[in-house]
Structure 1
């Protein structure tokens, strides 16, 4: 049921309004002053607020300002009640963002007409937004699918019906902004998080556009477009100057937005957040879309296209704001620039002179006239931001999910073109098991072979695997070490996930084990694994599953530590939500498990050293130190049994192995570096294989 909040200090008027509206079937709540009204609004989220102007404490103007500054109430229709001859209050209220006013005294018919008009207006806006959801989402899905496959769609894709009515602007300045690498960023978040990110971002960068009198603001995907026109603002400042002022303020808002990103998604290994802005001026055509009532005007034409192309070019140039020299010439004095160059536009026999905009020296006139109040469409713009955020989140996730889902049923044969995904060519399937499909791929930029693991993350058990997928990337993206597996990329949707990692043609270390493994090879492996442990421990990461199957062989014979699916950061905070294990959980592989892991006690860097000791013993002795007929007996040996003796030829390494495999973590090497130092002191032995 529609709820209307009445805020009026006169008991008789308030009760009369409540009675009239209840008789018409509306649910009403009432408050005697602005402070009570604001509390009622925040609690009940009404569909319409009707407020008197003159009230003790918080008056109607102050209540209106509080409502418009509250993110949850900003779009609520707001009517003011004013005295018949109080024109100044009427103007002040409308300027402050009121949607309508009603003069006292008023009749029943006048009240109902005004209330119904505001409720119908709100419904029309909602219908206009909803009517474009299906087409807009499908268009964005196609655009993001193109990006995922290596294509590059237009920055602001807009469909214009042939029957659309148009209006010509002889000279306007167009600003186009877009998020850098949005697809890569969105892959690291779920759909709701993408929507939240976009809403927060667009609300922050829209404010400078509105304050500089930007009009016809459009939100499409991760892009924003706005038009600045001299004749519509009444400001003596030229449109190009206001567009540049808005762009620089947007850049500042984006910088501050990174702090919000860090607070909200810190530890999620998001790519660096950046934006690009292109500005160009010239003729613009405004096309009317939707109904006559919504009057949605969409800017199109060469000027819009060129501004979009300049925005594209900011990524290649590494600039934040790029403006055409034509725009700069009309912007007035004080525009600070960096590099000036000529840009050849792809697909066109056209070169345009451009410059990097780095700052603006403001004048007193700028300060007086450059910051306009919110336009009368501020609430509709806010609705558009939220609608766009939801559509974009679904589109980018839908495109990726469709791509990953389709891989499972593809047949890879000689006659088929390789499937493309995010800069990788998928050539064939090399493995499958449970919820995971493994594909051999090539990186398009250099032909480097890549392993692509795709996880079907539907179901409770699969969701736990998804968390480990996310964790592995979040941990490893911090580390660049020759003996740690390289993780190149990761993305996930609500139902699938992928991770692109280094390919090891020779497989894992187990293939080396056997009587022909020389002592020097065993020590080299132990040394390189210890170096990898030193690197990950320096980042506060414990692997927790050191075993031969998680040590991979490269073509040159070196090894790399892999499979961080159950690794745990010793530095992570509870808000990161990455690990699925808790105190008392047993994780790892029993044959290589430390005593503290076997009993669910705290796991530390020394736990990894124990597992390395077990592996070193196995390489030197060609057998595991402990074997048993049951898991319970095996774990008991890890807890209580002495370390077995090595073959006599390796006796001088017995002390090293004993120290690595000490039952008490405090009796082991204090660090991987300490173990490496001890290895250096051991003289090489004759190459005698067992």
Structure 2
């Protein structure tokens, strides 16, 4: 089921009995039970293993706004000796349930630690006025990765994106997806803008506001119509999601296929009316154009096209798993860079 996530899924079983600090109650939990996690500080730095339900706002230093949008606002700051990002999730006046769902979905991967996933440090529904107050559903404190995302590199720069880079970026994303899927988390909004680039040019998957947590051992899940946050960006949304069918990790593989096409071509996936695109993706198997793209004309390019086409197959079962995809990306690396 999507958020809220039971605490037993968020923390190792050996730590669960020792919980005893700040509670953070899910607004989606009609029974009113609370999510409690320990706030930790280790040698003056934020502990990396666990996230906390308490943000010590007075410990924030050098707070600088770095972005805003329909989701809310993002700030950069210093927190307990570490550079962090603060994401304040806006409370939608039109759909407050969707706002709450989005905030709690952000925490589906909060307990996970991986080099290709943005690390969550803390989250709370109690936000001071200067960071949103009544206009905010909650705030998430995360590691600060950097000032760039993959969308900016693809469309906003003249940097070369040769095989050495797009293969490395692809492998980073697939490593992150494989880890998420192995922990039953489906991101559901993978796209270049949600892939941040660190100072070491490493990709980290961010923005889990559309994510879903599957039950252990469950490969797909039905999603209630009330869970309006599920879906993600329409240009990268798998056709089964557009049809209201079950969610599975293969939806992320579809989104990766569109993202890889963008890395290779540096063009926008679709043009034209949004509703026309949505209809055509489902009814006419519309996909981003391949004919006329020089990158796909060589023998190596045709191998890339084969991989991309498998990722965005209309049938989820025909798409590779993240594990299979990683092997194929590694094979492409051998073909291009050997």
TM value normalised by structure 1: 0.37
Q: Alpha carbons of 1:506 and 1:462: their partners in 2 closer, same or farther (altered >3 Å)?
A: same
Give, in whole Å, the separation in 1 of the partners of 2:310 and 2:336. Answer: 20
Give, in whole Å, the separation in 2 of the partners of 1:454 and 1:601. Answer: 31
> What residue in structure 1 maps to residue 248 of structure 2?
604
Query: Are 1:425 and 2:61 matched, yes or no?
Result: yes
Question: Counterparts of 1:256-271 in structure 2 under 5 Å?
Answer: 264-265=33-34, 268=35, 270-271=36-37
Q: CA deviation at 1:499?
A: 1.1
Q: 2:25 aligns with which of 189, 205, 220?
A: 189
> What residue in structure 2 maps to residue 534 of structure 1?
178
> What residue in structure 1 maps to residue 272 of structure 2?
629
Q: 1:660 aligns with which of 303, 308, 311?
A: 311
Give, in whole Å, the separation in 2 of the partners of 1:190 and 1:557. Answer: 36
> What residue in structure 2 maps to residue 448 of structure 1?
82
> What residue in structure 2 maps to residue 675 of structure 1?
325
SS of residue in 1 equivalent to 2:302: helix
Give, in whole Å, the separation in 2 of the partners of 1:435 and 1:624. Answer: 22
> What residue in structure 2 maps to residue 513 of structure 1?
154
Q: For structure 2, which runs of at least 5 residues remain unmatched after alignment? A: 1-17, 40-53, 128-133, 217-222
Give, in whole Å, the separation in 1 of the partners of 2:229 and 2:103. Answer: 19
> What residue in structure 1 maps to residue 13 of structure 2?
none
Q: CA deviation at 1:615?
A: 0.8
Q: 1:478 aligns with which of 82, 86, 111?
A: 111
Give, in whole Å, the separation in 2 of the partners of 1:599 and 1:456. Answer: 28
Give, in whole Å, the separation in 1 of the partners of 2:315 and 2:229. Answer: 19
CA displacement 1:398-454 (0-9 Å, x = unmatched): xx9xxx9xxxxxxxxxxxxxxx7164325223334457233221122xx32111123
Q: For structure 1, which runs of at least 5 residues remain unmatched after alignment? A: 1-178, 198-263, 274-399, 405-419, 573-578
Query: Are 1:554 and 2:204 matched, yes or no?
Result: no
> What residue in structure 2 maps to residue 9 of structure 1?
none
SS of residue in 2 equivalent to 1:532: helix
Q: CA deviation at 1:623?
A: 2.1
Q: 2:73 aligns with which of 434, 437, 441?
A: 437
> What residue in structure 2 maps to residue 415 of structure 1?
none
Q: Which has the higher helix share?
A: 1
Q: For the Cα contact (< 8 Å) 1:190–1:493, is it kept in 2?
A: no
CA displacement 1:252-294 (0-9 Å, x = unmatched): xxxxxxxxxxxx44xx4x2159xxxxxxxxxxxxxxxxxxxxx
Give, in whole Å, the separation in 2 of the partners of 1:591 and 1:459. Answer: 25
Q: Which has the larger radius of gyration?
A: 1
CA displacement 1:10-49 (0-9 Å, x = unmatched): xxxxxxxxxxxxxxxxxxxxxxxxxxxxxxxxxxxxxxxx
SS of residue in 1 equivalent to 2:244: coil
Q: For the Cα contact (< 8 Å) 2:109–2:185, is it kept in 1?
A: no
Question: Counterparts of 1:583-602 in structure 2 under 5 Å?
Answer: 587-602=231-246
Q: CA RMSD in A?
A: 3.4
Give, in whole Å, the separation in 2 of the partners of 1:583 and 1:468. Answer: 9
Q: CA deviation at 1:618?
A: 1.5
Q: For the Cα contact (< 8 Å) 2:190–2:252, is it kept in 1?
A: yes
Give, in whole Å, the separation in 1 of the partners of 2:90 and 2:261. Answer: 38
The structure showing larger relative contact order (alpha-carbon pairs under 8 Å, at least 6 residues apart) is 2
Q: Alpha carbons of 1:614 and 1:459: their partners in 2 closer, same or farther (altered >3 Å)?
A: closer
Q: For the Cα contact (< 8 Å) 2:98–2:229, is it kept in 1?
A: no
Give, in whole Å, the separation in 1 of the partners of 2:121 and 2:184. Answer: 21
Q: For the Cα contact (< 8 Å) 1:527–1:676, is it kept in 2?
A: yes
Question: Counterparts of 1:570-585 in structure 2 under 5 Å?
Answer: 570-571=214-215, 582=226
Q: For the Cα contact (< 8 Å) 1:424–1:441, is it kept in 2?
A: yes
Q: Alpha carbons of 1:421 and 1:607: their partners in 2 closer, same or farther (altered >3 Å)?
A: same
Q: CA deviation at 1:181?
A: 6.0
Q: For the Cα contact (< 8 Å) 1:583–1:601, is it kept in 2?
A: no
Give, in whole Å, the separation in 1 of the partners of 2:170 and 2:151. Answer: 14
> What residue in structure 1 maps to residue 207 of structure 2?
563
